[in-house]
Each structure stands twice: as C-alpha cells, then as structure tokens.
C-alpha cells in the first residue's frame, strides 16, 4: 500500500487553477458552510499582490456607549496581528469589515 505525501491529503483542488471548495469543519458561526481555497505562491510572492494598507472598521455597542464605528488603517504586514489583537482584547469592539486601502489618510499617522 503506497502512502501519499502528508501535504497531498488535504485540499485536493477541484479546478485546474489549484482552487476548490471544502466544508468548514470547526466549531464557529460558519459551521456547516463551505470555504473557497486556492493553492498560492510563497509569502513573498503573495505579499506583492496585496494592497499596501487595509482599513479595518470596528463597531462598538455597549450599554455605556452610543453605538459607533472606528476606522483603523493598518499596513499589510501588520494586518493579521492587528485582527488578532482586536479579536482578543477588543471587548465590546468587534471587527465590522476589512477593506483594501491604497493609502491611509495623513491623520492616521501610519508609519511608512
């Protein structure tokens, strides 16, 4: 009996471009749905395709505060860490949406 390489047993592409669909199998609000995947290049190659910045909009609703949104401007290389920090430490502040941003406003003081 031949053994498949460890890497080959997950995400066998449905399509010639290396993409496909797989079931969400972890406990979350998405359980039972499907996600789309695609095989990609190295992190250096893929970073070149990303926008330089992201606008992360959060929403706060609390019995002590009037509901409002905050917009954070985050450099691409810090996006994952920023989202993790908001998710873990945000309290009543939750991620509302994330969008590409070609350049943050000067008032945001995001370092170059």
Of 22-36, 58-72, 87-101, the range with the lowest mean pLDDT is 22-36
Task: Give the strand pairing for 53-62 and 34-38.
Answer: unpaired
**Is there a contact between 105 and 56 (Cβ–Cβ < 8 Å)?**
no
Mean local confidence (pLDDT), 37-58:
92
* Domain range list for the chain: 9-39, 47-104
Domain 47-104 sits in CATH 3.30.70: no
State pTM to two decimals. Answer: 0.74
Mean local confidence (pLDDT), 49-72:
92
| Helix then strand then coil, % of the chain, to nearest 5 | 25, 35, 40
pLDDT of residue 2: 42
């Amino acid at each position: 009996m031949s053994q498949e390489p460890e890497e080959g047993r997950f995400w066998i592409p449905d399509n010639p471009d290396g993409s496909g669909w797989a079931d969400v199998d972890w406990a979350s609000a998405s359980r039972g749905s499907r996600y789309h995947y695609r095989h990609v290049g190295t992190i250096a190659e893929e970073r070149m395709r990303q926008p330089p910045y992201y606008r992360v909009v959060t929403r706060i609703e609390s019995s002590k505060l009037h509901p409002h949104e905050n917009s954070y401007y985050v450099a691409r290389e810090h996006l994952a860490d920023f989202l993790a920090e908001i998710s873990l430490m945000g309290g009543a502040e939750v991620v509302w949406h994330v969008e590409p941003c070609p350049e943050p406003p000067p008032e945001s003081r995001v370092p170059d």
